[in-house]
Amino acid sequence: MSYALYVTHPQVVQNPSVPVPRWGLSELGRARAERFANHGLVRRSSRIVSSPETKALELAAILAAPSRLPVESGDNFAENDRASTGYVGSERFEQLADAFFAAPDRSAEGWETALDAQKRIVAAFATTLAAHDLAQPIVFAGHGAVGTLLKCHLGRRAIARSEDQRRIGNPGGGNVYVIRLADRALLTDWIAMEEVPETVAGL
């Protein structure tokens, strides 16, 4: 059976003077992505679909390079909109992220709500697969928050911060989950890039 991978961008260069959607991958983030690009599940993919944000596009380009695939992108795959606050320090960010997940129907200081972001990412995912050959593997390059919201939907779980990628102890990103395309079943929880098995149960 065929599959989709949802992959979050790994470590980035944080620059408070640059809008967060334009942040790029750090040297460590690039190195991790380059290693994962040679994973069998990535190499067998037929398409790479990305968020339009710089860090996700850079990840997608790295993953696409070994197979020389073009990178597709769509605005609706972007991270939840945090433009109302822009860059905030790590402590404040964690507080806002907690609020984002804890009250999905309420905005955290102007942030896009979790419910709105979930509807957007789920619709983008469904639209992409509606025009995709489900016999062919596909990779989605994206972000932690909307990736978690999509995972909650696919796994039929309530929106919660405990579903976020930080739960596996790798808060810098660069995490993956696997979806079976035939029925859109969630086959794994978050797995660090370095620990994704070559064979996934259920495929």
- CA nearest 108: which of 128, 88, 124, 122? 88
pLDDT computed for residue 171 by the predictor: 67
pLDDT computed for residue 1 by the predictor: 78
Q: How far apart are CA 129 and CA 104, in angstroms?
A: 26
Mean pLDDT of 124-128: 98
HSE at residue 15, side-chain half, CA atoms within 13 A, is 12
Tell me the average pLDDT of the chain.
Answer: 96
Q: Is the pLDDT of residue 36 over 70?
A: yes
